[in-house]
Structure formats: structure tokens, C-alpha cells
Amino acid sequence: MSSSHILKKDHLIPLLRKLGKAYRLVAPMQNRHGDTLFAEVASVETMALDLDHQPQESLKPFLFPQQEVIAAYEADQAGYALHPRYAAPPPTLYFGVRSCDLAAILYMDVIFSQRTREPHYLGRRHNTVLVGLNCNAPFPNCFCDATKNGPFSELGADLQLTDLGDRFLVTAGRAQGETIVSRWPQFFSAAEEAEIKKQYQLYLEARGGFQRQVHVDLAIRRLAEGMVDEAVWQQLSLRCQDCAGCAYVCPTCTCFTIVDQPRSATSGERLRCWDACTFAGFTRMAGGHNPVEPKKAAIKHRFLHKLKYDVEKHGRPSCVGCGRCLDICFGGTDIARFVELASEE
Amino acid sequence: MAGLATTFGSGAMTNSINEIEQAQVILAVGTNTTEAHPQVARRMLDAVDRGAKLIVIDPRRTRLAECATLHLAIRPGSDIALLNGMMRIILDENLHDDLFIEMRTENFLALRDMLYRVDLAEVEVETGVPRDRIASAARLYARAQKAVICYCLGITQHICGTDNVQSIANLAMLTGHVEKEWTGVDPLRGQNNVQGACDMGALPSVYPSYQPVADPTFRRKFEQAWGVTLPEQPGLTLLDMTHSGGQGAIRGMYIMGENPMLSDPDATKVEATLRGLDFLAVSDLFLTETAQLAHVVFPAASFAEKTGTVTNSERRVQLIRQVIPPLGETWPDSDTIMALAARLGYPMPYESQAEVMEEIALLTPIYSGIFHDRLETGWGLQWPCWGREHPGTPFLHKYYFTRGKGHFVPAQPIPASELPDDDFPLLLNTGRVYHQYHTGTMSRQCPTLTREADRALLQLNPADAKGLAIRQGEMVRLTSRRGSIELAASLTEEVTAGSVYTTFHFHEAPINRLTTAAADPKAKCPEYKICAVRVEKVSP
């Protein structure tokens, strides 16, 4: 059972100050170049909290870093020894997480606990508190309504916030959220019926606020029916610049590779690094043959994975409609473009 | 640089990169834009999405060529013939801009007389491009209201590089496609700060802001500012220095952030020169092939470890900020230079990079309004910027050309310095791949990039490969009059029969041991794009 409370905006910073004493605090902040990014809050006094713009990156780099040392190694003539590295992460509270990024975390939870449980991600995840923020006004590139995980979220967050103007409606969704409300009860008052109704009204209005029509369901159906023409893949793959920017900003792209980085003649570190299926090296074999011809199908696997394989496997696409790849793409081969082309009869 | 300076009065992009997006026609000549300038290619492709026509002139079928409305696959080195052919058609069909020519240019009659002697049948033979395709390109370009030409090293790295550039300028002036927003002539620079290095006078014949060394007025200005007597003669060009054979007047060199052992043509001579010096010092991030020959190596700090500015293709001066302290024993280049200067008896006690910028503003007219505090916010300033209140200049030559009137310089086709013959029957062209940068000093340290491309591939047309019984991926020996290397063959239709192509990133296959040091007589830019070679199977 979820419970609803009211937090006045005047008391947000004081609440964050208390939370900052109990957790490592991460929130969307504007840096001195005007970019909004999730970052660790060094000081609640001076933090430039920015809840008006979409953070340029999701929480992926925090829970699944771009580069991570997973072991140290020593090697000499006699052989080699591998010493796994694991640092227990501090309890962390992520504040102001949008519904797309929440959905992405739920997806990563599944990916990293299939068959073998992955200790690095799950270790961080278990020490995580998520405070979500519903989107009253979707951003220009967003289409989370089409991927059916936004603009409001009812899943995944420990506390879910809705901006009601001078106050937040706070819904405690999970145990950790209830803990926060009961540990600092002075900040919260009971929500009234009118306030809960206002939240639903905002939800309805937000759904009408999308500037892009991206018919994800149509593309999914046409992929399932095998109706997407080869020419679509070719047209987009030819223009793909192979920079992997889409996979790097994507909150649900979780492919990685493992490389050994020598630090001396006899020792080094084993790193886990983000990888991307658009790289030719992702599929090229030792003899040089590549079953995926880059110019014809570089991006095929990426979109099949998001909109076909994951639908078959998990019942929903693994695109969460955050729209970040639309901004980053050099060649105009982003997922919205694909959906548009794939949906053409 | 030299070509545009003569015709327009300024050797830089006339537009801003963003303007390319709004063009109706884009003529891309000798530029593999998607691989070498992805951020520019992005604008080109956006323009295509908005309905712009893209014309690509390139001997290879690059990705950009595949996205083009029209791809003219010319014979390497026949750019002037093609451009003259286009201009002849424009003239014949009365598509030139009379008013622009009258108001803004001079020496048109010389161009017209030369064009009237152009034989279009000969152009067809020389370029290998059918006449109707040349005519289509000419009409598309001339009829557009907003048309840009982008060119790169495929134009300049020829023995006729300056004439190539002047032909491009002729075409733009003939049709009035300069002096406006979204319309112009845009040389794409190869690195983030090549434009800045040229602007600062890292050229043998000019001081900062292209003020000639030979002119006593400018010389006195710099003598006064620096408190020294400066030489009256221009310095030596790069090739004069690196190809002197080590027996010349130059006995010592200090090389910063450059790896001529791999990047300069006819590299065997470069090695002899460097080994013949009495003293060689090198600054670089890593121990490059050049640094390995040095008596003293200065470990240099990377971009993230220092503060300063870079000036990009569109003349935009941007601040780069230090984010981490220099790693290990590395120093920022400015610290190394100041310490060296002090030891040599000429202290240069600048307190900060901002102070250096103040001196640049004082002595460099086109930078006179550019100060660090103005660069702190926004996206930098585009020169010319004439004072603190000046907002910078997004596009050049508004109302009049920098030199006054645009000057037509008619150019005749000039044969390459070395053409195929019986012993060396193939044409070698060199360039770059997307995932590696120059001699690989930095990019080959990154495992993701090396997984994408970590060895040299010789692109060879399947028809040529068949004649030589060479299979896909087989190691072959590539030989020119100057040297021989071994590398793997990659059979592809991207190159036409009779041509081969490879990159200069990899020290295992140092292609510049084969290239020729023959250079454009004006700009002294070597002919990296053409030399004669033969391909053989490596005997088992």
C-alpha cells in the first residue's frame, strides 16, 4: 500500500540537508557551463539543483560505470594471478529521477540478475534509495508515453514526487520511502483529497504535452510481423557514424567488454568498459570476417534488441523514450527516426 | 591557405559550420567528411534531410558519396579540369552572376578567355566523368541561391594544391556564391587548432595575423614588442627542414606534438635528417617514433591538464579549461617553453594564459577583441574580432572581399608529379579512418578504438586484385620508387580500378616511406594524394 504526503517546497532544501547526512546524495545540478547532469552533492548550501531540465545523462554511469576495475592481475613467467576487486558502495540517495530513468533501472535490475548475479551493479543497487520526480511538462525529444513508462511513474521509486506548484505530493512506494517519511516526519503532512485529484489532473495534462509523435507500438508490431524492409536498415546504417554515442547515453544499453590494462611489465588491471553493438569490433571475428556488414546493418541489432527481442523476452521494449539518442546522434539515425521509417506502410 | 588568400584575401572558412545546414546545394570536394569531420558531415546530412542537394567529387565511393545526390568519381588529380569544365558549362548556359562579377571581382576576362579554350570532350577524358554528369553538377550548383563548397586535403595535398583552391574560388565567384550567410567556400581544417597555429604565425613567412615577415613595418612592430632583432627573410618550410638530409644548415630541432617519422612524405629521408642532427628535442604525450630519436624528451601535458585556447575551422576561438592537474612529470607546453626561454637568456615571465592572450590581442589585429574573460561564457568568438565590443564575425567578406575585390586566377590542369608507368602501374592515395587519429600516438592507446581499426589495410579494387591473384585479407607488398611496406589487402569497390588507398596511422606499415615529397610550389604542401606504386603478393 502506498501512502501520500505533502512536502512544502520551502522545506525541500532542509529535507535534503537531513538526507545528506544519512546518504551520499546525488541530484540533477547545473554546472558552470549550463549543462544539467546528475552529480554528487558536495554541499546543500551551494548546490545548483536543477529540476527544470532533463539531465543529459541517466543514472547509468552511477550504477554501471563506463569503466570499472573488476580485478587486479600479476603475471610473470611462472603464471598469473587474478585478484578480484570489489568496493562496497556507500548508501546513496538519488533525487529527482525521471520516469524514463526509473524504468531503465528496473530493466537493468533484470539484466544484471539473470542467471549469474552480477555483484558490482547489484551491490550498488541494494544500497540505493530512489526519489522520483514526475514530468508535468515533457521535454522536446521525449516520447515515454509511446514506450508506456511515463510521463508519471508508479513503479520503481522509494518516494515519488509530483510538483503541485508550491508543494510536492510525495508518494511512498517502497519500504525505504516509508522509512524516510517516518524518520523525518516533521517535513511531511497528510495529503488531502483535492491534492491527490490535482495530481491526476496534471498527469492527464502532461500526457497531452508531448511534442513528438513516435509510434513505437506500430514499429514493434511491424518488426514482430517481419514487415520492416531491408532498405530501412541499409538507409540508416549507411549514415551511422559508428560513434556509439547512442549506446553510451542510452539508459538501457548494458553491453560491456572486458580489457586488461597493463600498469607495469608484470601487473595491471582488468577493466569492464561499456561496449556498443554498432561497433564493427563488436561482431568481427578473429579471422577478420564480420557477420554484420557495417554499411548495411550496423544499427540493425540495436533496434531489434530494443523493440523486438526484449519485447519477446520481457514483454515490453527496452527503449524508455528518454530521447537522449536524438540529441547525440551525428547521422540522424536515432530510434525515433527508425520508428518513423519502420512504421511506413 | 595561399590559394584563398590570393583570391579572397583570407585563408579560412568563409561561413560558420552551422550555416551548412541551411544550404540548398553542398558541393563537397576532396573531403571524406563523415570520417574526418563528423560534426560537419552531420550538418551536411541534416541539410540533405531538409531537401538540399549534395554533390560529392571524390575518386573514392565514400559514405558521403553514397548519401549524395550526385557523385562524380574523378580520376585522382583531375580537379582543375573538372572545375574548369563546370565553369565552361555555367558560362555557356549563362548561369554566371554578372552583377556579382562586375561589383565584387576583378580579372574576370582572363578567366573567361581561359574557359573559352576548355574543350569539354577533353575534360571528359581527363576526369573520367561523363559530360552530362558534369553538366548536372554545374547546373545544380550555379542555380542554387544558397550554395556552399566544402573542401579538404583531397584538394590541397597535390602538387597543384594552390591552383585547385583557386579554381574552387573561381567557381564560387563566377556564380556569386560568396559574401553571404549559408553561401561560401569552406576549407575544413584537419585538427582542432590548425587554424589557430596559422593565425599565430606558425608559418615561415608571416607573423601572427598573417602580417608578412618581409614587410619592415610589421617586423618593427614585433621587434619593439619582443625587444629583439628579427630576421628579414622568411624561415624554412616544413619539407625544407625535414628533408635536408641532416647535412644542412640546421643542426638542431625542437619538435612539439608532431610525429614527422610517420606523418611526413618520403619518410626515409626524414629519418636520415633527424639522425643527422647534432641535437633533437621532442615534446609529446607518448614516446613516438620521432621522440625515440631525440636526445631530450619533454613529457607534455594533454588538453585536460592545461588551460588555453584553440581556434577551429570556422575561425572560432574557444577556451579549454584545465580539469585535472598534469599527470606524472608532465608539464603544459607553455611551462616548457618558458623554462627553455629562461635558460636561453630570454625570460618570458607570463603569469597566466590570460596574459599571453592579452599580448595576442595587442599584436594580432584579427584577435584584437579576444580576451579570456570574454571566452568564459558561451561558445567563443569568431575572428575577425576588432575590439572588446565587437561580437565576432560568423561569415566573411560581407559587402567586400578582405583584399578589396575578389581576384580571379585562371588555372590550367597540372599533371601529378608522378604518374603510373609499367613498373609502378597503380595510383596510391592516402587518408584517414574514423577510429584513428593521425599517427595513432593518442588514439592507439584506447582499446575500443584499436579494436575497431588497429592495422593498415590496402584498399584494392577486386578487378586489380584478380589480375594479381590477391585474395581478401592477404598480406601484400606495396612498393614505390622510395620504399616498400607490407600490409593486408582489403578488396572493395570503394576504390576504382587502377587506384589503391591506405592510411598513415600505423607505424607497422609506414605509408609515408612511399609517398613523394614533391610539393605545391606556393603552399609547399606535399602531394600525399598521388604517387605511383605496384602491388605484389608476399611470397610464401
Q: Where are the domains of chain B?
A: 2-188, 190-235+304-387, 241-300, 426-537
Chain A residue numbers touching B435 (CB-CB < 8 A): 242
CB A330 to CB B448 under 8 A? no
Measure the CA–CA gap between B174 and B100, rounded to whole angstroms.
8
**pLDDT, mean of residues B283-310:** 95
Indicate if A220 and A196 belong to the same structural domain.
no
CB pair distance less than 8 Å for B434 and A241: yes
A154–B contact, CB cutoff 8 A: no
A20 shares its domain with A107:
yes
pLDDT at residue A102 tops 70: yes
A107 & A188 share domain = yes
Per-residue confidence at B540, pLDDT binned at 50, 70, 90?
Answer: low
Could you tell me which chain A residue has the CA closest to the CA of B33? A241
User: Do A174 and A294 have their domain in common?
Assistant: no
Does A311 fall in a domain?
Answer: yes
Same structural domain, A228 and A315:
yes
Burial A251-284 (b: 16+ CB within 10 A, else e): bbbbbbbebeeeeeeeebbbbbbbbbbbbbbbbb
CA pair distance B75, B64, nearest whole angstrom: 18
- Contact between A92 and A128 under an 8 Å Cβ cutoff? The reply is yes
Q: Provide the residue range defining the domain that includes A10.
A: 3-57+90-207
Give the Cα separation of A180 and A187 in Å (integer): 10
Q: Which CATH superfamily, name and number, covers B2-188?
A: Dimethylsulfoxide Reductase, domain 2 (3.40.228.10)
Query: What is the rounded CA–CA span in Å between residue A91 and residue A24?
Result: 6
- Would residue A79 count as lying in a domain? no
**A270 touches A69 (CB < 8 A):** yes
Are A247 and A147 in the same domain?
no
The fold for domain B190-235+304-387 equals Rossmann fold (3.40.50)
Which residues of chain B are within 8 Å of residue A243 when distances are taken between CB atoms? 38
Mean pLDDT of chain B: 91
Alpha-helical runs (H) found in chain A: 12-22, 60-63, 99-111, 119-126, 175-183, 193-207, 216-224, 230-239, 245-249, 280-283, 294-297, 300-304, 310-314, 324-328, 335-342
* A273: nearest CB among B63, B66, B448: B448
Residue A78 lies in a domain: no
pLDDT for res A33: 78
Tens digit of each residue's pLDDT (9 = 90 or more) over A130-155: 999 999 999 999 999 999 998 999 88
Q: How many angstroms from the chain centroid is the CA of residue A178?
A: 24
Give A240-255 pLDDT, tens digit per residue.
888 899 999 999 999 9
pLDDT higher than 80, residue B399: no
Helix (H, G, I), strand (E, B) or coil at A108: helix
Q: Domain containing A166 — which CATH number?
A: 3.40.640
Chain B nearest-CA distance from A264, in A, is 15
Alpha-carbon gap, residue A61 to A66, rounded angstroms: 6
Is the Cβ pair B38, A330 closer than 8 Å? yes
Q: Is residue A81 part of a domain?
A: no
Q: Do A259 and B34 touch (CB under 8 A)?
A: no
* A247 close to A43: Cβ distance less than 8 angstroms: no
Confidence (pLDDT) at A223: 95
Q: What is the mean pLDDT of residues B432-440?
A: 87
Q: Is residue A272 domain-shared with residue A188, that is, in the same domain? A: no
The three three-digit cell numbers of residue B48, written as one number: 540533405
Q: Are B202 and B39 in contact (CB under 8 A)?
A: no
pLDDT tens digits along A247-276 = 999 999 999 999 998 888 899 999 999 999
Is the same domain home to A161 and A129?
yes
pLDDT of residue A5: 95
Tell me which chain B residue has its CA closest to the CA of residue A337: B49
Tally of domains in chain A: 2
Compute the mean pLDDT over every residue in chain A, rounded to the nearest whole number. Answer: 92
Mark whether A144 and A53 lie in a shared domain.
yes
pLDDT at B10: 76
User: What is the structure's pLDDT at B1?
Assistant: 57
Whether A280 and chain B come into contact, CB under 8 Å, resolves to: yes
pLDDT at residue B39, as a whole number: 87
* pLDDT over 80 (residue B9): no
Residues of chain B in Cβ contact (below 8 Å) with chain A: 34, 38-39, 41-42, 45-46, 49, 63, 66-67, 434-435, 447-448, 451-452, 473
Among B38, B49, B451, select the one facing A243 at the smallest CB separation.
B38
Contacts of B447 in chain A (CB under 8 A): 257, 259, 261, 273
**What pLDDT, on a 0 to 100 scale, did the predictor assign at position A344?**
82
Residue type, B158: H
Read off the C-alpha cell for B22: 541551411
The residue from A207, A229, A264 where one domain ends is A207
Query: Taking Cα atoms as reference points, which of B432, B427, B408, B409 lies closest to residue B417?
Result: B427
Query: Averaged over A228-233, what is the pLDDT?
Result: 90
A241 touches chain B (CB under 8 A): yes
Q: What pTM was estimated for this model as a whole?
A: 0.87
pLDDT tens digits for range B250-288? 899 999 999 999 999 998 999 999 999 999 999 999 999
- Is residue A73 pLDDT above 90, yes or no? yes
Give me the torsion for CA of A119, A123, A126, A129, rounded to 10°.
-140
- Best to test chain A binding among B35, B63, B71 (most A CBs inside 10 Å): B63
User: Tens digits of per-residue pLDDT, B440-468?
Assistant: 888 888 888 989 888 999 999 999 999 99
Give the residue from A272, A330, A337, A341 with the most B CB atoms within 10 Å of its CB, the best one to mutate: A330
pLDDT tens, residue by residue, B74-99 = 999 999 999 999 999 999 999 999 99
Measured between beta carbons, which residues in chain B are less than 8 angstroms from residue A275?
Answer: 448
Chain B residue closest in CA terms to A261: B447
| Amino acid B477: pLDDT | 96
CA-based angle B28:B436:B502, to the nearest 5?
A: 65
Chain A residue at shortest CA distance from B36: A241
A 290-319 near B (Cβ less than 8 A): 295
Are A14 and A127 members of one domain? yes
Say whether B426-537 and B2-188 share the same fold.
Answer: no
pLDDT of residue B5: 79
Strands A79-84 and A92-97: unpaired
To the question of domain B426-537 being in CATH 2.40.40.20, the answer is yes
Residues 90-119 of A with CB under 8 A from B: none
Q: Binning pLDDT at 50, 70 and 90, where does residue A173 land? A: confident
Amino acid, res. A246: C
Which of A150, A103, A50, A95 has the alpha carbon at shortest distance from A251? A103
Closest by Cβ to B452, choosing from A279, A331, A332: A279
Q: Verify that A199 and A223 share a domain, yes or no.
A: no
Rounded to two decimals, the ipTM of the complex is 0.82
CA A180 to chain centre: 24
What is the rounded distance in angstroms from the CA atom of residue A16 to the CA atom of residue B31? 53
- Residue A318 inside a domain? The answer is yes
**Averaged over A81-89, what is the pLDDT?**
88
Q: Do the domain assignments include residue A158?
A: yes
Final residue of a structural domain among A176, A207, A238: A207
A67 within domain boundaries: no
Express as a percent the part of chain A with pLDDT over 90.
76
Residue A225 lies inside a defined structural domain of this protein? yes
Residue B180 pLDDT level (bands cut at 50, 70, 90):
confident
- Return the percentage of chain B with pLDDT > 90, whole number: 69
* pLDDT tens-place string over residues B333-384: 999 999 999 999 999 999 999 999 999 999 999 999 999 999 988 889 999 9
What pLDDT is stored for residue A8 in this prediction?
96
